């Protein structure tokens, strides 16, 4: 009887001890694995893109690409002993379009979770302008597949980044680089489309309109500068209030100026779609070719505008991965997961950005960095994030969008611009690849 009672007591004590151990581990913060028992085996990686409202066609494909990279990393046991948790954020505001304040709020919330090791995004340069100082002071990696405004990272009158456009001291308050991008900048994108239209299409007179955003105005300024350098004539240069529903005054000015082509610096959600439609529907402007940057290069815009009448051109600030044999595996996997109709201009960019972040995290851990203990371990999070930033600076990555290293400003070494035209083929209306140009 005494021996039986002892066994019962031992069993009870063992159960209590086991429950205590499980409680100490807590949810999502297991301390087993290859991290020396010091930190969480769950590492969070986030995105911030406009994935709802009028910007879904731009942001959702980029988010999908990033999510696919995380899924693959977990399936392949990319860092033995660790699992990645994907945390997507939407920076669309109350007006139904991308919103800098919403983006800033998202990044602030992500920084508050110590387990978040890096953020892929944002999509738009004006949102980046709001997020970068917050991320820089945290510090935490912010890497964009699509931000193209050159003044986010560089200074100088020669690229239009002096005076009021000299933003680097504000965007990089610590003086250290924490922001990266794999898209070529607008001082290249604006120049390449100007060269294409002037030299290859033989247009000599251009009318330029921009949507007044950081991206749109910056792209238009570079286009104007290059057009004049080529010997072309700018017959009109007009700012247009974002999301204007009536471009009647602008159309009247365009008709009076008799341009060969109209260039639009801006995005589809900030008036680009309405502007192009009104040009098409006015007999005095319907025959004018139209061109813009990557802000109008998406399937939704192409389907709305159509391929009939005068041509519509757009650029994307990266290689056209769809013609590269090495990209086939990614494209097939993406289409199988999300659907072919969900593939966008920056699906591959979102994927590569996340792959670069994951590789930096792996490198940091390999160099001895310890993950934070849990979401509330602010000091541990700050130390680990800095190790990831240090690893990002050593990036030497070959992916779907080509080979990327980063200069001291966080800009990619891969400076290629792809040019597209809206066409109708096989019963579908979309952008078709025209040319690919390495920037000067």
Q: Does 22 map to a domain?
A: no
Give me the domain span that covers residue 132: 42-184+323-409
Same domain, 199 and 262: yes
Q: What's the Cα-to-Cα distance from 50 to each of 15, 75, 316, 334, rounded to whole Å?
A: 49, 27, 18, 19
Instruction: Return the structure tokens found at 171.
Output: 């965007």
Q: How far is CA 355 from the centre of its chain?
A: 13
Q: What is the pLDDT of residue 9?
A: 37
Lowest mean pLDDT segment, chosen from 28-42, 82-96, 148-162, 418-432: 28-42
User: Cβ-count burial of 186 within 10 angstroms (0-12 exposed, 13-18 middle, 19+ buried)?
Assistant: buried
Same domain, 170 and 66: yes
Give the pairing type, strands 312-316 and 416-425. Answer: antiparallel
Reduce the DSSP state of residue 55 to 3 states and report it.
helix
pTM (2 d.p.): 0.87
Q: Does 295 map to a domain?
A: yes
Same domain, 180 and 260: no
Q: Could you give the CA distance from residue 414 to residue 353 in angstroms, rounded to a whole number?
A: 13
Q: Confirm if 317 and 189 have CB atoms less than 8 A apart.
A: yes
Q: Does 9 map to a domain?
A: no
Q: Is the pLDDT of residue 21 over 80?
A: no
Q: What's the Cα-to-Cα distance from 316 to each of 25, 125, 208, 289, 312, rounded to whole Å?
A: 47, 14, 19, 18, 14
Q: Is the pLDDT of residue 11 over 90?
A: no
pLDDT digits (tens, 9 = 90+) for 169-200: 999 999 999 999 999 999 999 999 999 999 99
Confidence of residue 346 (pLDDT cuts 50, 70, 90): very high
Say which residue, 349 or 308, is predicted with more confidence.
349
Same domain, 277 and 261: yes
Give the chain's mean pLDDT: 91
Q: What's the Cα-to-Cα distance from 58 to each of 27, 102, 145, 270, 372, rounded to whole Å?
A: 35, 17, 11, 13, 33
Q: Is the pLDDT of residue 28 over 60?
A: no
Q: Does 215 map to a domain?
A: yes
Same domain, 59 and 74: yes
Same domain, 63 and 136: yes
DSSP secondary structure string, 305-321? H-SSSS-EEEEESS--G
In this structure, the number of other CB atoms found within 10 A of the CB of residue 204 comes to 16
Q: Is the pLDDT of residue 70 over 90?
A: yes
Say which residue, 9 or 287, is predicted with more confidence.
287
pLDDT > 90 fraction of the chain, expressed in percent and rounded: 84
Q: Confirm if 399 and 355 have CB atoms less than 8 A apart.
A: yes
- Counted domains in the chain: 2
Q: What is the pLDDT of residue 248?
A: 87
Q: Confirm if 149 and 214 have CB atoms less than 8 A apart.
A: yes
CATH of the domain at 432: 3.40.50.2300
Q: What are phi and psi of 83, to 5 degrees?
A: -125, 145
Q: What is the pLDDT of residue 242?
A: 58
Q: Does 16 map to a domain?
A: no
The residue-averaged pLDDT of 304-315 equals 96
Q: Could you give the CA distance from residue 388 to residue 177 in angstroms, rounded to a whole number?
A: 12
Reduce the DSSP state of residue 92 to 3 states and report it.
strand
Same domain, 180 and 327: yes
The residue-averaged pLDDT of 257-270 equals 95
The residue-averaged pLDDT of 68-87 equals 98
**Residues forming beta bridges with residue 237, ordered by sequence position:** 208
Q: Confirm if 179 and 171 have CB atoms less than 8 A apart.
A: yes
Q: Confirm if 148 and 171 have CB atoms less than 8 A apart.
A: no
Q: What is the pLDDT of residue 241?
A: 62
- E runs forming strands in 270-346: 290-292, 312-316
Q: Could you give the CA distance from residue 71 to residue 59 in angstroms, rounded to a whole number?
A: 19
Q: What is the pLDDT of residue 24?
A: 38
The residue-averaged pLDDT of 155-181 equals 96
Q: What is the pLDDT of residue 239?
A: 76
Same domain, 304 and 348: no
């Amino acid at each position: 009887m005494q021996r039986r009672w002892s066994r019962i007591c031992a069993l009870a004590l063992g159960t209590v001890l086991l429950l205590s151990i499980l409680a100490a581990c807590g949810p999502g913060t297991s301390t087993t694995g290859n991290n020396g028992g010091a930190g969480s085996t769950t590492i969070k990686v986030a995105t911030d893109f406009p994935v709802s409202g009028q910007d879904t066609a731009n942001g959702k494909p980029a988010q999908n690409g990033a999510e696919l990279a995380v899924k693959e990393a977990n399936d392949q046991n990319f860092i033995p002993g660790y699992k990645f948790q994907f945390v997507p954020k939407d920076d669309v505001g109350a007006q139904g379009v991308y919103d800098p304040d919403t983006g800033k709020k998202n990044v602030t919330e992500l920084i508050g979770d110590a387990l978040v090791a890096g953020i892929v995004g944002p999509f738009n340069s004006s949102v980046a302008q709001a997020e970068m100082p917050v991320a820089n002071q945290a510090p935490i990696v912010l890497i964009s597949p699509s931000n193209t405004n050159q003044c986010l990272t560089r200074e100088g009158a020669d690229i239009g980044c002096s005076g009021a456009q000299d933003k680097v001291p504000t965007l990089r308050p610590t003086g250290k680089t924490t922001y990266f991008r794999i898209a070529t900048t607008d001082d290249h994108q604006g120049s390449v489309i100007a060269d294409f239209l002037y030299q290859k299409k033989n247009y000599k007179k251009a009318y330029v309109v921009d949507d007044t955003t950081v991206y749109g105005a910056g792209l238009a300024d570079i286009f104007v500068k290059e057009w004049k350098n080529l010997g072309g004539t700018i017959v009109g240069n007009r700012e247009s209030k974002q999301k204007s529903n009536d471009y009647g005054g602008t159309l009247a000015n365009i008709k009076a100026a008799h341009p060969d082509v109209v260039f639009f610096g801006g995005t589809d959600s900030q008036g680009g779609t309405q502007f192009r439609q009104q040009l098409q529907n006015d007999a005095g402007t319907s025959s004018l070719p139209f061109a813009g940057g990557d802000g109008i290069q998406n399937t939704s815009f192409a389907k709305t505008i159509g391929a009939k009448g005068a041509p519509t051109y757009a650029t994307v600030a990266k290689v056209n991965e769809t013609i590269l044999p090495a990209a086939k595996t990614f494209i097939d996997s993406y289409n199988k997961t999300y659907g072919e109709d969900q593939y966008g201009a920056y699906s591959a960019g979102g994927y590569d950005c996340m792959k670069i972040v994951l590789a930096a995290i792996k490198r940091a851990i390999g160099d001895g960095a310890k993950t934070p203990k849990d979401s509330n371990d602010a000091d541990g999070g700050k130390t680990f994030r800095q190790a990831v930033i240090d690893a990002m600076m050593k990036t030497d990555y070959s992916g779907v969008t080509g080979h990327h290293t980063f200069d001291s400003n966080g800009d990619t070494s891969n400076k290629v611009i792809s040019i597209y035209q809206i066409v109708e083929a096989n019963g579908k209306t979309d952008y078709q690849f025209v040319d690919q140009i390495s920037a000067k």
